[in-house]
Amino acid sequence: MCGIFCLLSRSAAPEGRDQAVLEPLQRRGPDSSRDVSVTGTDSGYRCLFSAHVLHMRGLLTPQPLQDAAGNVLLWNGEIFGGLPVDPDQNDTAVLSQRLQACGTAAEILSVLSAVRGPWAFVYHQRAAECLWFGRDFFGRRSLLWSFAAGTMTLTSVAAHSPASDPRSWQEVPAAGVFRVDLKEFARSDSVSLEIFPWDHPNIPSTSPESLPIYCLVETNPAGLAMSAPVPPLNESLPASSPDPPTESRLSVRDLDELLAGSARPDEAKRLIRVLSEAVRRRVQAPPPLAGSASVAVLFSGGIDSMVLAALADRHVPAQHPIDLLNVAFRLQEPKNHNKKRNKDSPNSGPTAPRTFSPFDVPDRLTGRAGLEELRGLNPERRWNFVEINVTPEELQEARRQRIRHLVLPLDSVLDDSIGCAIWFAARGAGTVMEDGGPRPFTSSAKVVLTGIGADEQLAGYSRHRVRFQAAGLRALLAELSMELGRISSRNLGRDDRVVGDQGKEARFPYLDEDVVSHLSSLPVWLKADLSLPRGVGEKLLLRSAARQLGLGPSAVLPKRAVQFGSRVAKMEDRREKASDKCRRLLTGFWLK
C-alpha cells in the first residue's frame, strides 16, 4: 500500500499544494516519503509527484521511481500474477522496467492489462510527453481527482481543508486507463483526457454529465482498449422456473440434505480451489515478528469472513497466529434494565447473560461462536480474537480527526457508518481473552483480508431477494451485473482509504480475478437459490463450500451488514436513511 499524489500544472503557475493531504498520504506509506518534480522540455507544464511507501516484503523500493530514461512511476499496487516477478525482485521495479520498454500506447495497455492484482498508478512517459493514470478493473485501490483552471490533482486520499472545496474531489472512474497529452495541456485551460476503456459491458460511465468541469474525456481515436481480466456474467436461465420462496429457517442438517441431492458438491470443490489460491497469494507476507501475526481478517463470524479465516489457516504456517478483528460499538443500556432483577426476570433463560454487557453486539456474539468453530478446525493455531470496543466519545473523535477525510468524496450516512466500523476494526486495538481475563492487544498484521465482493457475486444482500421475488431471475441477474460494475465507486475506494490510514493493506480475495472469472462463468442458479429461506438460499454455493471446509453453524447465518452487526448505526440518529447525506462528515467551512 502506498499513498500517491500528482499535481499537474502550468510551469508559470505558483508552486504549492494543499498541505492537508500530506499527512493522510504519509499514514498510508510510513516507510519512505519522497517528491520528484518534472517540467516539460520546451512546453510549459510541471508535474509534482509525491509518494509514500508502506513496505510489505522484499527490499524497500522508494517511489517515485524514475528510470534511466527519465520516466516516473507512482505505483500503489500488488502484482499477484500476470507479469513474472521473481521472489528476489520488487514488483514496482519490474513494472517500471516493463513500461520503460514500451513505445506505443498499445504496448503500455498490454503491460497494464496483464497485471493480476489491485492497483492505482500514475506514469509520466517522458519521450511521448504524456501522463498516464488509472485504477484496476474493480477499482481495488483508491485514486481521486480534482480539476481547476490549468491544474489537475490525483491522489490516493483527500482531506477537508480551507484550501479546497470538498465537492471538487471525485473518484477516478475505474473505467479504463487515462492519458493526458502534456503539450496540449500546456496550451489550454481545461484538461483533455483520452480514455482507453476496459472491454467489458459493466464499466462505470465517463459520460460528460458525470465529469467535473475543466475536464474533457474522449475515447482514444485509435479505438484501443484494455482487455478486461474477467468475462461478462453468465446470463443463462434455467429451463424451468424456480419454486416460489419458502419462509422457514433451515438448520445445518437441512442444508446438508439439500446440498447432498444437488450437483453442488463438485461446484463447491471448484470454488474452494480458486478461492484458496486467491487467499494464498494474499497471505504471502513477510515473516512476522516473533509471536505476532502478519495476517488479520475483518471478522464478524459470518460466512464470508469464516471462509476466509478457514482458508488463511491452510496457508499461514501453523506456528504463526492469525488475528480476527471484531468490532463493537457500545450499546445503549435498555431503559427498563435492572441488573439486580435481571436473573429472575421471566425471559432470561439459562443462557441469557446475567449482566448487561454493552459490547455484546450481534457481530460479537457470532464472532465468538465463529472463533470456537475455527478452534475446532485447527486447535494448534493461535487465533487472536481481538475484541475492539468503541465508545461514542472515541467514535466522535476519530471521525472528526481522521475518518471524515478518508470517506471523502463519499458522503452518505452509510459511508459514515461503514467507514467508521472498518477504520476501528482495521486499527486492531482491543483486548484478547486469556486465562479467563481480557489482555490489551493491538494487531500488528499489515495484511487485512476482507470479505467484500461475496455478496455482490453470490446474491447475498436482501435487496437481491426483493428483486428476485418481484421480477424473477432475469432481474436478479441485471442487479448483480450492475453491482459489480459500481463496486469501485460504492465500496472499494473508501475501504482502501480507511484501511490504508492504519498503515495496513486491505486485500479482497473474493475479488481476485480468477475467483470473479470463475463465479461469472457459472449460471446464477448454481450460486444462489432465493426460493430457499434466508441463511441458506443466498450465497448457497459458498455455504456448501463452508460445509466442505468443515464449518458448522456459521454456514447458515443470514447476512448482517457491518453497520448493524457492529451497532455503529445505532449510535446515531435512527431516523436517518442510509442514503441521506451525512452531516457528521462535513466541516464548519462548507456546512451551510
Ligand X SMILES: *[C@@H]1O[C@H](CO)[C@@H](O)[C@H](O)[C@H]1NC(C)=O
Q: H helices within 358-407, ranges in order?
A: 362-377, 392-398, 404-407
Instruction: Give the nearest distance from C-beta 560 to ligand X in angstroms.
Output: 31
Instruction: Give the nearest distance from C-beta 519 to ligand X in angstroms.
Output: 11
The residue to which cell 495476517 is assigned = 295
Kindly tell me which of 268 and 395 has the beta carbon lying closer to ligand X.
268
Q: What one-character DSSP code corresponds to residue 417? A: H
Interatomic CA distance for residues 525 and 533, integer angstroms: 15
From residue 2 to residue 41, the character string flagging contacts with ligand X as x (rule: CB under 6 A) and all else as - is ----------------------------------------
Is 505 among the residues that bind ligand X (CB under 6 A)? no
The residue to which cell 451485473 is assigned = 481
Instruction: Please name every residue paired with 121 in a beta bridge, in sequence order, or none if there are none.
Output: 75, 134
Interatomic CA distance for residues 357 and 117, integer angstroms: 42
Is 271 among the residues that bind ligand X (CB under 6 A)? no
For residues 77 and 118, is the Cβ–Cβ distance under 8 A? yes
Interatomic CA distance for residues 116 and 105, integer angstroms: 20
* 521 phi, psi to nearest 5 deg: -80, -15
From residue 353 to residue 382, the character string flagging contacts with ligand X as x (rule: CB under 6 A) and all else as - is ------------------------------
- Total residues binding ligand X (CB under 6 A): 16
- Exactly one of 2, 6, 130, 420 is catalytic; which is it? 2
Please identify the residue of the shown chain whose CB is closest to the bound ligand X: 58
Q: Which stretch binds ligand X (CB under 6 A): 49-57, 163-171, 217-225, 552-560?
A: 49-57
Instruction: Please name every residue paired with 195 in a beta bridge, in sequence order, or none if there are none.
Output: 178, 219
Is 521 among the residues that bind ligand X (CB under 6 A)? yes
Instruction: Give the nearest distance from C-beta 230 to ligand X in angstroms.
Output: 12
Q: Which amino acid is at 525?
A: W
Is 90 among the residues that bind ligand X (CB under 6 A)? yes
Applying CB under 6 A, among 60, 260, 352, 471 the residue interacting with ligand X is 60
From residue 279 to residue 308, the character string flagging contacts with ligand X as x (rule: CB under 6 A) and all else as - is ------------------------------
Instruction: Give the nearest distance from C-beta 286 to ligand X in angstroms.
Output: 8
Q: Is 2 a catalytic residue?
A: yes
Q: Are strands 45-53 and 32-39 parallel, antiparallel or unpaired?
A: antiparallel
Is 558 among the residues that bind ligand X (CB under 6 A)? no
Helix (H, G, I), strand (E, B) or coil at 79: coil
Kindly tell me which of 78 and 411 has the beta carbon lying closer to ligand X.
78
Interatomic CA distance for residues 45 and 332, integer angstroms: 57
Kindly tell me which of 386 and 524 has the beta carbon lying closer to ligand X.
524
> Cell numbers of 448, please?
487485512
For residues 4 and 142, is the Cβ–Cβ distance under 8 A? no
3-state secondary structure 235-256: CCCCCCCCCCCCCCCCCHHHHH
Q: H helices within 284-379, ranges in order?
A: 303-315, 339-342, 362-377
Instruction: Give the nearest distance from C-beta 59 to ligand X in angstroms.
Output: 7
Kindly tell me which of 60 and 352 has the beta carbon lying closer to ligand X.
60
Kindly tell me which of 92 and 276 has the beta carbon lying closer to ligand X.
92
Peptide bond into 166 cis (omega under 30): no
Applying CB under 6 A, among 92, 155, 417, 563 the residue interacting with ligand X is 92
Interatomic CA distance for residues 24 and 30, integer angstroms: 10
Q: Which stretch binds ligand X (CB under 6 A): 57-65, 250-258, 329-337, 527-535?
A: 57-65
Applying CB under 6 A, among 104, 236, 251, 462 the residue interacting with ligand X is 236
Kindly tell me which of 412 and 544 has the beta carbon lying closer to ligand X.
544
Q: Using alpha carbons, list the distances in angstroms from residue 283 to 26, 95, 267, 309.
A: 24, 21, 24, 11
DSSP letters along 332-363, please?
PPPTT--HHHHTTSTT--TTS-SS--TT--HH
From residue 330 to residue 349, the character string flagging contacts with ligand X as x (rule: CB under 6 A) and all else as - is --------------------
Instruction: Give the nearest distance from C-beta 481 to ligand X in angstroms.
Output: 13
Kindly tell me which of 238 and 317 has the beta carbon lying closer to ligand X.
238
Q: Which stretch binds ligand X (CB under 6 A): 35-43, 85-93, 322-330, 385-393?
A: 85-93
For residue 351, give every residue at least 6 positions away whose Cβ sits within 8 Å of its Cβ, in sequence order, or none: none
Is 57 among the residues that bind ligand X (CB under 6 A)? yes
For residue 433, give every residue at least 6 positions away whose Cβ sits within 8 Å of its Cβ, in sequence order, or none: 385, 387, 439
Tell which residue, 145, 152, 195, has the closest CA to residue 175: 195
Q: Which stretch binds ligand X (CB under 6 A): 83-91, 105-113, 128-136, 185-193?
A: 83-91
Q: What is the C-alpha end-to-end distance of the chain, expressed in Å?
A: 36
For residues 52 and 33, is the Cβ–Cβ distance under 8 A? yes
Q: Which amino acid is at 241?
A: S
Kindly tell me which of 90 and 457 has the beta carbon lying closer to ligand X.
90
Applying CB under 6 A, among 4, 7, 53, 413 the residue interacting with ligand X is 53
Kindly tell me which of 81 and 523 has the beta carbon lying closer to ligand X.
523
Instruction: Give the nearest distance from C-beta 78 to ligand X in angstroms.
Output: 7
Scored b (16 or more CB within 10 A) or e, 30-49 reads eeebeebebebeebbbbbbb
Instruction: Give the nearest distance from C-beta 58 to ligand X in angstroms.
Output: 3
> Cell numbers of 452, please?
467484500
Is 523 among the residues that bind ligand X (CB under 6 A)? yes
Instruction: Give the nearest distance from C-beta 60 to ligand X in angstroms.
Output: 4
Instruction: Give the nearest distance from C-beta 91 to ligand X in angstroms.
Output: 4
Is 58 among the residues that bind ligand X (CB under 6 A)? yes
Kindly tell me which of 88 and 393 has the beta carbon lying closer to ligand X.
88
The residue to which cell 455455504 is assigned = 543
Is 85 among the residues that bind ligand X (CB under 6 A)? yes
Which residues are the active-site residues? Answer: 2
- Residues at the interface with ligand X (CB under 6 A): 53-58, 60-61, 85, 90-92, 234, 236, 521, 523
